Amino acid sequence: MTNIPVPFFDLTRQFSSMEGEMLAAVVPLFRSQQFILGEAVSSFEEAFSKTLGVGRSIGVSSGTDALVVALLAAGLRPGQGVLVPSFTFFATAGAVVLAGGVPIFVDVDPASYLMTPRIVEDFLGRETAVSGHGSLRTRRGEIPVAGLLPVHLYGRMVDMEALSGVAQRHGLFVVEDACQSVGATFQGRPPGVFSQAVAYSFFPTKNLGAAGDAGMITANDPAIADHCLRLRVHGSRKRYEHEEMGMNARLDALQARVLSVKLSRLDGWTRRRQELARRYNESFSGLPGVTVPVDPELAGGRSGHVYHQYTLRVLREGRRDRMRAFLSERSIGSEVYYPIPLHCQKAFSDNPTIHGPLSVSEALSREVVSLPVFPELTDEEQERVIGAVRDVLSS
Ligand SMILES: *Cc1c(COP(=O)(O)O)cnc(C)c1O
């Protein structure tokens, strides 16, 4: 077998497949020198809503800013708490703090790695109480609980209908972190149907990636969508009149043009990701010592999971790191998302709601490994990855 390196990810392949079209899309902006908002942004926002079948789209400067603006528009007030899974990227909880709130970390489900309705319900029952003023507060730290921030991790969606039922029973808002799951569905429905707002990231390595930082918010409620529009331009609807505090969180026109070119290809890329995931699952299911992503729909070819990451769980202490070292010796890329759960991060060490271990998040941080799954990965490259993983598991 050859030893040609298999990259974990390679965006240059994608660009070379569309170089001419991409450059033709951005040159007119340089000619006009119109870089802020305008037709480039509004036409991408419309195309995004239409292509994904989601509510009103508001282009913003990053996934992090999408989360901050969405949380503010959903009604988060200073000092209020938002439930977030501990097993996610830093920005999920970072955005809660940037928006003036307090992240309240909960564990994730051992089968899906997601913050599920059951986990939220159990947490609220165990760790919160209704105060004299009728508001829900954490027992530790007395933080008023205002909302839920589920994360559709690795491209797989939380059951939002069930989660929104829990939120409604407790009077909480819901903002979805869909930064890893553009194009994903659950039972045929995209993010946004059962929440106040959804945040997407177009960081270059996401499934739909810009040529730099970019993001999007979607909202079905026109009042929330209008509020997001205001918050992204200094709290202003009319030039030089500021109704409230806001940010500079606009989507760049250049990024909108780049993203418009890529959006029409997203569905094909997603199907290729699912095809690669299917082959990995067929190759690894039943092997001792590893758990593959649970996705019953994948075999039939109609999965709603968009496989931003294809992630194995390698059981037994130390085995994951040995597997990574072995892959690296064979010049095969792999990554760990994420090696430290958020409740263990120094940045959150003064959080008054943290107590005791979140055992699933902590176990996952030691046991997960993501394999190459980008759409341009060739079948031959994937065979090399599969062969190496099989070898290491049988050694
Ligand atoms: C990428 C990501 C973000 C942040 O997006 P940026 O565009 O990098 O700011 C937030 N949450 C999750 C789960 C992400 O993967």
Count of Cβ atoms closer than 10 Å to residue 238 Cβ: 7
C-alpha to C-alpha distance for 83 and 30, rounded to whole angstroms? 43
Chain-centre distance for alpha carbon 294: 18
62 CA: nearest ligand 1 atom? 7
Nearest CA to ligand 1 atom 14: 179
- Strand bridging mode 215-219 / 236-238: unpaired
Q: What is the pLDDT of residue 2?
A: 61
What CATH number is associated with residue 360? 3.90.1150.10
- Helix (H), strand (E) counts: the chain: 13, 14
Nearest CA to ligand 1 atom 7: 63
Based on the fold, state whether residues 70 and 212 are members of the same structural domain: yes
180 CA: nearest ligand 1 atom? 15
362 Cα–ligand 1 center, Å: 20
88 CA: nearest ligand 1 atom? 13
- Strand bridging mode 290-291 / 310-314: antiparallel
- Provide the domain limits for residue 118: 13-263
Q: What is the DSSP string of 294-329?
A: P-TTTTTT------S-EEEEE-STTHHHHHHHHHHH
**Which of 263, 297, 327 is the last residue before a domain boundary?**
263
Q: What is the pLDDT of residue 394?
A: 87
Q: What is the DSSP letter of 192?
A: T
Q: Which residues contact 216 (CB under 8 A, 6 or more apart)?
A: 45, 48, 57, 58, 59, 60, 66, 199, 200, 202, 251
Based on the fold, state whether residues 17 and 161 are members of the same structural domain: yes
| Cα–Cα nearest to 99, from 79, 121, 118 | 79
92 Cα–ligand 1 center, Å: 7
Q: What is the pLDDT of residue 137?
A: 96
Based on the fold, state whether residues 211 and 308 are members of the same structural domain: no
Q: What is the DSSP string of 66-130?
A: HHHHHHHHHT--TT-EEEEESSS-HHHHHHHHHTT-EEEEE---TTT-S--HHHHHHHHHHHEEE
Within a domain: 4:
no
- Strand bridging mode 197-201 / 173-177: parallel
Q: What is the pLDDT of residues 30-87, one digit of tens each?
A: 999 999 999 999 999 999 999 999 999 999 999 999 999 999 999 999 999 999 999 9
Widest Cα–Cα separation across the chain:
70
What CATH number is associated with residue 52? 3.40.640.10
* pTM for this predicted structure: 0.98
Based on the fold, state whether residues 312 and 256 are members of the same structural domain: no
Based on the fold, state whether residues 187 and 236 are members of the same structural domain: yes
Within a domain: 2:
no
Based on the fold, state whether residues 90 and 198 are members of the same structural domain: yes
Based on the fold, state whether residues 110 and 138 are members of the same structural domain: yes
**Which of 263, 293, 326 is the last residue before a domain boundary?**
263
206 Cα–ligand 1 center, Å: 9
Quick check: 226 and 36 in contact, CB under 8 A?
no
Based on the fold, state whether residues 203 and 68 are members of the same structural domain: yes
Nearest CA to ligand 1 atom 2: 179
Residues with CB under 6 A from ligand 1: 62-64, 88-89, 91-92, 151, 177, 179-180, 201, 203, 213, 215
Within a domain: 64:
yes
Return left, alpha or beta for 32; rule: phi > 0 is left, psi -120 to 50 is alpha, else beta.
alpha
Within a domain: 142:
yes
151 CA: nearest ligand 1 atom? 13
Ligand 1, pocket-test mutation among 60, 65, 67, 89, most atoms within 8 A of CB: 89
State the total domains in the chain.
Answer: 2
Based on the fold, state whether residues 153 and 231 are members of the same structural domain: yes
150 Cα–ligand 1 center, Å: 13
Nearest CA to ligand 1 atom 6: 63
Within a domain: 175:
yes
Q: What is the pLDDT of residue 198?
A: 98
Ligand 1, pocket-test mutation among 115, 203, 205, 307, most atoms within 8 A of CB: 203
334 Cα–ligand 1 center, Å: 19
The amino acid that residue 131 corresponds to is S
Within a domain: 6:
no
Ligand 1, pocket-test mutation among 60, 180, 255, most atoms within 8 A of CB: 180
Based on the fold, state whether residues 197 and 335 are members of the same structural domain: no
Tens digit of pLDDT per residue, the chain (395 long)?
567 899 999 999 999 999 999 999 999 999 999 999 999 999 999 999 999 999 999 999 999 999 999 999 999 999 999 999 999 999 999 999 999 999 999 999 999 999 999 999 999 999 999 988 888 999 999 999 999 999 999 999 999 999 999 999 999 999 999 999 999 999 999 999 999 999 999 999 999 999 999 999 999 999 999 999 999 999 999 999 999 999 999 999 999 999 999 999 999 999 999 999 999 999 999 899 999 999 989 988 789 999 999 999 999 878 999 999 999 999 999 999 999 999 999 999 999 999 879 999 999 999 999 999 999 999 999 999 999 999 999 88
Within a domain: 3:
no
Q: Which residues contact 30 (CB under 8 A, 6 or more apart)?
A: none
Within a domain: 1:
no
Based on the fold, state whether residues 224 and 331 are members of the same structural domain: no
Ligand 1, pocket-test mutation among 179, 306, 307, most atoms within 8 A of CB: 179
Count of Cβ atoms closer than 10 Å to residue 296 Cβ: 7
Based on the fold, state whether residues 288 and 188 are members of the same structural domain: no
| Cα–Cα nearest to 86, from 362, 312, 367 | 362
**Which of 240, 263, 286 is the last residue before a domain boundary?**
263
Q: Which two tokens stand for residue 135?
A: 């508001």
